[in-house]
Amino acid sequence: MMILKTASLPDFVIAVVNEKGTEQLFTGEYDDFCEPGTYLCRQCGHALFRSSAKFNASCGWPSFDEEIKHAVLREPDSDGRRIEILCARCRAHLGHVFEGENFTPKNARHCVNSLSLDFVSDLNIEETEEAIFAAGCFWGVESLFQQLSGVIKTEVGYTGGQKKHPTYEEVCRGQTGHYEAIRVIYDPLKINYEALTKYFFEIHNPTQINSQGPDHGEQYQSAIFYYNAEQLALAQQLVQKLEKMKYAVTTKILPMSVFWRAETYHQNYYAKSGKHPYCHVYEKKFPV
């Protein structure tokens, strides 16, 4: 199941992947970056490049001398001089490819915008899928999702509101309409959306309104943000199962809106701080 993430992408990412823009040189997240893993298409999650193909061309953008087989399309650019590269699955704009520069023995440089990419610490992944949930303070939600087999990347942020580029302080003051949320990238060969959503319901209390544990505020409301009709149907089915078990579920099921990544200090908070979640615990709710 391919999930197009366009609805969740901020305007500055859309300007690159859909409108063929170019990010400023030396500003991209993956320019000066060398961890082992796989680079994915930011729009559809398809694997594009392995870290073994990345090299430092000192050009201001991530450079790769080889793509994963059949993952990247080449087409003449509208300027008539360059060759554009696109995701072979969803046609998201990636950047351009240049040959004959002799940077590496493969003699090719895929010059890619960081904003066109996601990175996961998995050297073999081919396909990924994505889910976005809100279940109270995103620190605890992220910590528990990181323990789930099949989850290969998490990112906390804000979604569901009306303000662009919200800050944590603005969200906490109730000025934006956003929820504290988590973006979960997972391997569909190891876990499916239904199992992921069951886990979501089992790591928080979905009967609380605008709160979770001791935390109170609209930003802590339980919610599922769906990308497509299949995710919507599965979320509704699970709510119905919980209600039959006498849970008074207050979880909102909402269409996807722009996901704004939270400030760096919020990412992976509990792992970095050595602290432990104070308002999230696992409780088995669904029968096997």
Candidates 34, 137, 172, 279; catalytic one: 137
Domain ranges (residues) in the chain: 6-120, 129-273
Q: What is the pTM of this model?
A: 0.95
What CATH number has the domain spanning 129-273? 3.30.1060.10
In 3-state terms, the chain is what percent helix, strand and coil (to 5)?
25, 25, 50
Q: Please report, to the nearest 10 degrees, the dihedral formed by the alpha carbons of residues 198, 207, 184, 288 taken in order.
A: -10
Choosing from 59, 111, 172, 279, the catalytic residue is 111
Mean pLDDT on 114-119:
98
- CATH of region 6-120: 2.170.150.20
Greatest CA span in the chain, whole angstroms? 67
The residues that bridge with 50 in the sheet, in sequence order, are 38
The pLDDT tens digits for 72-91 are 999 999 888 999 999 999 99
pLDDT digits 0-9 by tens, 235-253: 999 999 999 999 999 999 9
Tens of pLDDT, residue by residue over 12-63, are 999 999 999 999 999 999 999 999 999 999 999 999 999 999 999 999 999 9
Give the least confident one: 67-71, 83-87, 211-215, 220-224: 211-215
What average pLDDT does range 167-180 have in this prediction?
Answer: 95
Residue 111 annotated to the active site: yes
pLDDT above 80 for 263: yes
pLDDT of residue 175: 86
